Amino acid sequence: MITETEPQAPVTETAAGGRTPRPRRLPRWAGPVAVLAILLTLPFSTVTVPGLFHGALNSPATLHLLAFCLVFGGLATSYDLLYGRVGLLSFGHALYFACGAYVAALLMRVLELPLVWAALVSVLAGTLLSLLLGAVALRVNGIAMAMVTLAFAQAGSILVSRDPGRTTGGEEGLSLNTAMVPDTLVGVTNTVNLYWVAVAYAAFATVVVWWLSASPVGRVWQGIRANEQRVAVLGVDPYPYKLAAFTVGGGLASLGGVVYLLVTGGVTPTITTAEFTLTLLVMVALGGAGSRWGALLGAGLYTYAEHRLRQLGGDSFSALPDWIAAPLSQPLFILGTLFVLMVFFFPGGLVALPERVRSALRDRRTTRE
């Protein structure tokens, strides 16, 4: 007769010949599920965090800021697919983000398409654009490829700013046609719904990047990042694999543009510039390129810090001499300085910081012994 028994914990042999149980490890999916559960339940929390947020966690202002952090977290994750997973330095990733936002805004304004159809068409347009431009840019490597993507980004930015046919709104941008958007996504009272949309986008982008990175295609990407010539010598053509990463990253970025349009209620040419792509590069490097949580963490902290520094403004440093108050009143100066210090002292990014601290503590204990 066979009876079921409870599973026993794994055991290891000790120096004395005994057997001690190994500590159980949580499954890999436990961490992401816990983070997602926390994010989804924040709108029901009335907890206040003085010094970090104004008001409770479920206040519209806090949820709007968190939605921004999540949108840029998902966008940075799509860029990390290129830079951190494959080693492609692109200066034109903002172009696909802007394509998603502008195409969706124009379709709802000019053709009066509902949000769902406008989103589908704009994501398809951004994906096709990244496929076409990537097919050209990836014919060269390294700095040459970066310069080609920069040229495409600058051309797109100029096109939007020139406002051809008075379609893009020029420097003023375009506002969201709320008549084509469900009422549940319009107004301050529905900020929680926009927050959940941002959570869904960040989760979707992260899952797609994780899944592809763990697939056989992802292993080829790792080989390309380590040594592209060796991959070619082994009989694998790197070009289609790089183009696939370029296309998927562009599609995820265009989807982020649609979510950004909903969260902000409009779009301006500031998201079309190459400087915006450089900001994504800073976010990824700050968190840790190619790591599991690096892009999300770096983008969230960068977006939050920039928002809070803009709130402080120049009045916070008025008591200081002019030569130091002037640069400190600029958020980009402070963020740039912090980024340089972070890269210099912690080159692995924020995700590598705990391990570096543990390693330093172990070395210190070993030195004392």
Q: What is the pLDDT of residue 1?
A: 39
Q: What is the pLDDT of residue 3?
A: 45
What pLDDT tens digit does each residue of the chain (369 aa) get? Answer: 344 444 454 555 554 555 555 556 777 777 788 888 888 888 888 888 887 888 788 899 999 999 999 999 999 999 999 999 999 999 999 999 999 999 999 999 999 999 999 999 999 999 999 999 999 999 999 899 999 999 999 999 999 988 888 888 888 889 999 999 999 999 888 999 999 999 999 999 999 999 999 999 999 999 999 999 999 998 899 999 999 999 999 999 999 999 999 999 999 998 988 888 888 988 998 888 888 888 999 999 989 988 887 776 655 555 666 666 666 666 667 677 777 777 777 777 788 777 777 777 777 777 776
Q: What is the pLDDT of residue 84?
A: 92
Q: What is the pLDDT of residue 32?
A: 83
Q: How far apart are CA 106 and CA 304, in angstroms?
A: 29
> Which positions ≥6 away from 193 have C-beta within 8 Å?
184, 185
Q: How far apart are CA 321 and CA 330, in angstroms?
A: 15
Distance of CA 333 to the CA centre of its chain: 22
Whether the CB-CB separation of 123 and 255 falls below 8 Å is answered with: yes
Q: Domains of the chain (ranges plus CATH)?
A: 53-304 (1.10.3470), 322-369 (no CATH)
Closest CA to 213 of 293, 276, 318, 280: 293
DSSP string, 14-60: -TTS-EEEPPP---TTHHHHHHHHHHHHGGG---B-TTT-SSBTTSH
Tokens coding 231: 């991959």
Q: What is the pLDDT of residue 316?
A: 57
Q: Where are the alpha helices (DSSP H) in 89-190?
A: 93-109, 115-137, 142-162
